[in-house]
Chains A and B, each alone.
Chain A
Amino acid sequence: MDRKSQLNQDLNLKQYAIPIETPKPEDLTNRVMIRISNLSSKEKQRKTPMKRSAILLAAALVALVASLTTYATSEYFEIRNAKGEVVLKTTKPHEPLLPSYFTELHTKYSNQANASVEQGQLLANYVNDNVIKDYDQTRLQFTYKNDFSRYEDFIKEIKAKEAPLLLEPEELPEGYQYYNGQVVPAFPISGDAIYEELYTQLLSQAQAEKGQEKVFTALVPWTKSGTAVLVYKKDDTYLYFIASKAMRSEVSQPEGALVKQKNIKGQEVLYVRDDGSEYAVNTVAWFDEKTRIAYHISDSIGSRLTEEEMMSMATSIIKQIHSYQKE
């Protein structure tokens, strides 16, 4: 076919095209650049700060399981195992880079998802909102409820769900009472067959949705736990004990915080005290190499606990773990 006939044929087909209305260029460009910036931020900052609201702490530690480490500068502490691998370190607190309109929207959807979860359940949620997707590359969010108002029930659940071993210290600081225990389900991870099935299912529901619904939910069967949390309360202050299956652990070291490395019964431990903190005044953290469980004890602002009281609780828990391991 000669070039002229070819051109005529192309023009002929083009008449059947409909002019396409493209979105505002700056909208698309901004969204792409935000996602790219988000990717770059995640390369540099792998961990979100531990929130001090009781329920969210456990979820923050679950993220530790999949986090990658970046090595600390000389001003931060590192604890290495016999192979020389860093198993516990302090890091600069990660500043959230998220605008307030995102966090407000995120909170709204989280509340909606949380409202429908019942005791013992783990739910996968897909949020069909472009603002959320722009800032958060996680395809699925998970909500759960597995709280125990009695310590005895918490212990039964720890055994039933093979949760990390977490026992109440033999001596607690005066006035602190058991408040809540959680055995956190192990969440499916991106790439797992169940995660991908859930994502496909919820995405289909979202795409078929003709109304205003933005949050799509599915029940996730679960039998094992990755994290156990104990919360104690005295007046308006809290004590949190968290045990989480992990590859390694980190603890925030804000500027000006006091940090000490100690050894308790052969276990290397880090103690951090930050009197100006918005979250915790005292934190004690260690990583049990044998069981690959990361332990954190922290209090909340307003706490008057001393270093000695924090270390006494850590000692009690470590001793209990050691005697359990000998059985």
Chain B
Amino acid sequence: MKITNDLIEEIIAEVQGGQEEAYKTVVETYQRPIYQYSFRLLGNHQEAEDAVQEIFVRAYVSIHQYKPTYSFSAWLYRIAHNYCLNQLRKCKQHKKALWLFRQEETTESPEDMLEKCAFSPPLDHALKSLALEERSLLILRVFEERSYKEISEIVGKTPDAVKKKIERLKKKVRTQINKWEENEGWTENHSLIKT
């Protein structure tokens, strides 16, 4: 059965009415895109799995706060956006703390490095030059294919402001990718990462 936006709104109303089991359909409908979004931001399967669970539980706990003035998808992505950015900030602080305490960095195995790549090296490198919020904006637009309207609802800015910001980010990322490809000589034969 195809889950339309109208059907989702009906299901949400049931959940708000106390029908806990109805929430299962919500999880089934959105878990894949939320997982992909989380993985693209967090870069780790385990963290993405944990994130998905946490996001859906938080959405359930605050389900009574949802009003259909904007789409449920935008509301859910907002929770995901805030959660993932917080995780990334904590990770940054942790790495800083490790450095302060002079702890040895663990050596990553090739599998670990591969797992961290949600993107090929040129784009991965380019995204790392962006701030966390900017990274999320780009991922939402380009890879999650959210509309400017929905992204504006997720991040709390106007659609125009979001659109302009994303255009600037795309240019910035394109420039970074070109630089990387010139310097690193990325070839077609990147067998480590299959597209």
**If A18-B117, A29-B27 touch, does A13 touch B20 (CB 8 Å cutoff)?**
no
**Could you list 26 A-B pairs, sorted by A, with CB under 8 Å?**
A12-B174, A13-B142, A14-B142, A14-B143, A15-B195, A16-B120, A16-B122, A16-B123, A16-B177, A17-B118, A17-B120, A17-B143, A18-B117, A19-B194, A20-B35, A20-B118, A21-B45, A22-B31, A25-B32, A28-B52, A29-B24, A29-B27, A32-B27, A32-B56, A36-B23, A210-B106
Q: In the complex, what distance in Å separates the CA atom of A19 from the CA atom of B32?
A: 12
Provide the A1-44 mask, 1 if CB < 8 A to any CB of B, else 0.
Answer: 10000100110111111111111010011011101110110000
The list of the 6 closest CB pairs from A to B, nearest first, reads A16-B123, A32-B56, A16-B120, A29-B27, A32-B27, A13-B142
Q: Closest CB-CB distance, B39 to chain A, in whole Å?
A: 5
Cβ contact within 8 Å between A25 and B20: no
Q: Closest CB-CB distance, B179 to chain A, in whole Å?
A: 14
Cβ contact within 8 Å between A16 and B57: no
Q: In the complex, what distance in Å separates the CA atom of A326 from the CA atom of B163?
A: 75
Q: In the complex, what distance in Å separates the CA atom of A31 from the CA atom of B35?
A: 14
Residues of A within 8 A of B193 (CB): 18
Cβ contact within 8 Å between A32 and B53: yes
Given contacts A13-B170, A17-B118, A22-B31, 6 further A-B contacts (CB under 8 A): A6-B167, A9-B174, A10-B141, A19-B195, A20-B35, A28-B27
In the complex, whether A103 has a CB less than 8 A from a CB of chain B is no
In the complex, whether B94 has a CB less than 8 A from a CB of chain A is yes
Q: Which of B61, B94, B123 contacts A17 (CB 8 A)?
A: B123
In the complex, whether A208 has a CB less than 8 A from a CB of chain B is yes
In the complex, whether A204 has a CB less than 8 A from a CB of chain B is yes
Give residues of chain B (1-59) contacting chain A, Cβ–Cβ below 8 Å.
20, 23-24, 27-28, 31-32, 35-36, 39-40, 45, 49, 52-53, 56-57
In the complex, whether B70 has a CB less than 8 A from a CB of chain A is no
Cβ contact within 8 Å between A25 and B28: yes
Range of interface residues on B (Cβ < 8 Å): 35 or more
In the complex, whether B99 has a CB less than 8 A from a CB of chain A is no
Q: In the complex, what distance in Å separates the CA atom of A10 from the CA atom of B123?
A: 13
In the complex, whether B162 has a CB less than 8 A from a CB of chain A is no
Q: Which of A13, A29, A204, A208 contacts B31 (CB 8 A)?
A: A29
In the complex, whether B173 has a CB less than 8 A from a CB of chain A is yes
Q: In the complex, what distance in Å separates the CA atom of A37 from the CA atom of B57?
A: 10
Residues of A within 8 A of B106 (CB): 208, 210
Residues of B within 8 A of A32 (CB): 27, 31, 52-53, 56-57
Q: In the complex, what distance in Å separates the CA atom of A232 from the CA atom of B70?
A: 64
Q: Which of B39, B61, B94, B119 contacts A16 (CB 8 A)?
A: B119
Residues of A within 8 A of B75 (CB): none
In the complex, whether B77 has a CB less than 8 A from a CB of chain A is no
Residues of B within 8 A of A40 (CB): 20
Closest to A204 in B: B94
Cβ contact within 8 Å between B20 and A36: yes
Cβ contact within 8 Å between B167 and A1: yes
Q: Closest CB-CB distance, A127 to chain B, in whole Å?
A: 14
Cβ contact within 8 Å between A23 and B35: yes
Residues of A within 8 A of B28 (CB): 25, 29
Cβ contact within 8 Å between A13 and B27: no
Q: Closest CB-CB distance, B98 to chain A, in whole Å?
A: 8
Residues of A within 8 A of B141 (CB): 10
Residues of A within 8 A of B53 (CB): 28, 31-32, 35
Q: Closest CB-CB distance, B32 to chain A, in whole Å?
A: 6
Give residues of chain A (251-274) contacting chain B, Cβ–Cβ below 8 Å.
none
Residues of B within 8 A of A210 (CB): 106
Residues of A within 8 A of B118 (CB): 17-18, 20
Residues of A within 8 A of B52 (CB): 28, 32
Q: Closest CB-CB distance, A207 to chain B, in whole Å?
A: 8
Q: Closest CB-CB distance, A8 to chain B, in whole Å?
A: 11
Residues of A within 8 A of B120 (CB): 16-18
Q: In the complex, what distance in Å separates the CA atom of A210 from the CA atom of B105?
A: 12
Cβ contact within 8 Å between A10 and B142: yes
Q: In the complex, what distance in Å separates the CA atom of A22 from the CA atom of B24?
A: 18
